[in-house]
Amino acid sequence: MTAPVFVVEQLPGGADFVLDGPEGRHAVSVKRLHAGEEVVLTDGRGHWAEGVVRAAEGKDRLLLTGLDTVHEEPAPSPRITVVQALPKGDRGEVAVETMTETGIDAIVPWQAARCITRWKGERGLKSLAKWRSTAREAGKQSRRVRFPEVTEVMSTKQVAALLAAADFAGVLHEDREHDSEALATAALPAEGEIVLVVGPEGGVSPDELDAFAQAGARPYRLGHSVLRTSTAGTAATALLLGRTGRWG
């Protein structure tokens, strides 16, 4: 099993380090790490260092050593972004968690016309904070050292601008009247930015489809079945990671 990952704001400049606070408490009281076990510290932005536990103190302090070398993981290419329409209840956190574990690079919350959930005021701030916290924890759990960015919630106009700037832009859309192209056979770029839109449970509206089409985004399907909005992004991410060679 790979070493557990803990997040720090800044990686240590020397061999020794004291991991305390919430991360130290998790390491000592939950993971119950002991002397001699290996750990990884990361800033979540691609920098990381391997170390060894020297000792545990109390319930929330882990003394580490061997952290002399800081590594940097290159930014992946092509970069994959999923625009995720706001699901009901806690399904948004499920989507963020599984997409992060799969390997997504960025998640854009989207206030689509047919979303039942509305991010407004204090509620919107709390929901965004929860998505970001979920991405951080899922990044640690999946042993990532470069966590996905979770942007501010975007409008349809803002999403269209994002699609227009992408090297590949698509919308997951099931259309029985006009057969969408399979994402599994779409021509993908070897580098640059891939942006894929996942609509709400009620589907992407005609006006939104028109706006995205004008931005250069074509409709695509994953398969013959229709996935829920909270799982479609994860399935699409896995497909794209495999097809672009990032899962090679």
For the entire predicted model, the pTM comes to: 0.93
Fold of domain 5-72: Ribosomal Protein L25; Chain P (2.40.240)
pLDDT at 225: 81
Domain boundaries, the chain: 5-72, 79-244
Look up residue 67 and give its two tokens: 């952290």
> Which tens digits make up the pLDDT trace of 153-178?
999 999 999 999 999 999 998 765 55
Fold of domain 79-244: Alpha/beta knot (3.40.1280)
**In terms of Cα–Cα distance, which of 148, 132, 136 is closest to 92?**
132
Q: How many whole angstroms separate alpha carbon 228 and alpha carbon 235? A: 10
Exposed e or buried b per residue across 172-188, where buried means at least 16 C-beta atoms within 10 angstroms of its C-beta: bbbeeeeebeebeeeeb
> Which tens digits make up the pLDDT trace of 105-150?
999 999 999 999 999 999 999 999 999 999 999 999 999 999 999 9
